[in-house]
Amino acid sequence: MPGAIALFTREPLDEILENGGTGDWVTSADRVRQYPFVVLVRNRNHPSSPSDVDHGTAFLIGRVFGTRVAEKRAANGYPRIFIELKDYAQVNVKNVWSKSQNPVWYTNLETLGIDENEIEFAPISHVATAQREAAASENNALAEIKRDLAKLFNVPASAVEITIRL
């Protein structure tokens, strides 16, 4: 019984495919990598949620490709994780959600009523992934510079701003 992370989301399908995954989740990247699948469940109570499927319905299953730290942080300061998908399939499994208040649920496909053998996965475009990787590389270099400057001046990295004037 393969493990799966069920995520209660408002994200529309086209946004997920365009971004190459789903985010921004408060979870551990190490923990995400322990699960081969992500199952997205529709949260219709969110004001920007599409009306594509009923509330609590699983609408997408994806195989986890990797994770990256998202730009946004949680209110408590914890980093948020973007989960990259290598491929996906649309599903329609009603009444999946566990009624949990937490939008991240570590479970398995059997509990969610999904049979891996009945799924035909389609690849997610790697063009978007390549663009994200290039941007992430630039952001990582800038973050490293900010950390070095923060150490040099003995201040938190959040206090360092870099401005380029032309």
**Burial class of residue 64, CB neighbours in 10 A (0-12, 13-18, 19+):** buried
Residue 66, both tokens: 């990797």
Partner residues linked to 142 by β-bridges: none
This model's pTM is above 0.85: no
Q: How far apart are alpha carbons 129 and 48 in whole angstroms?
A: 25
- How far is CA 38 from each of CA 48, 98, 115, 159, rounded to the nearest angstrom? 21, 15, 13, 36
**Cβ distance 42 to 9 under 8 Å?**
yes
Find how far residue 99's CA is from the centre of its chain.
20
The pLDDT of residue 126 = 58
Q: How far apart are alpha carbons 121 and 116 in whole angstroms?
A: 10
pLDDT in tens, the chain (166 residues): 789 999 999 999 999 999 999 989 999 999 999 999 999 999 998 889 899 999 999 999 999 999 998 888 888 888 899 999 999 999 999 999 987 889 999 999 999 999 999 999 999 875 455 556 666 666 677 778 888 888 888 888 778 888 878 7
Domain 3-124 has CATH 3.10.590: yes
Q: Where are the domains of the chain?
A: 3-124, 125-166
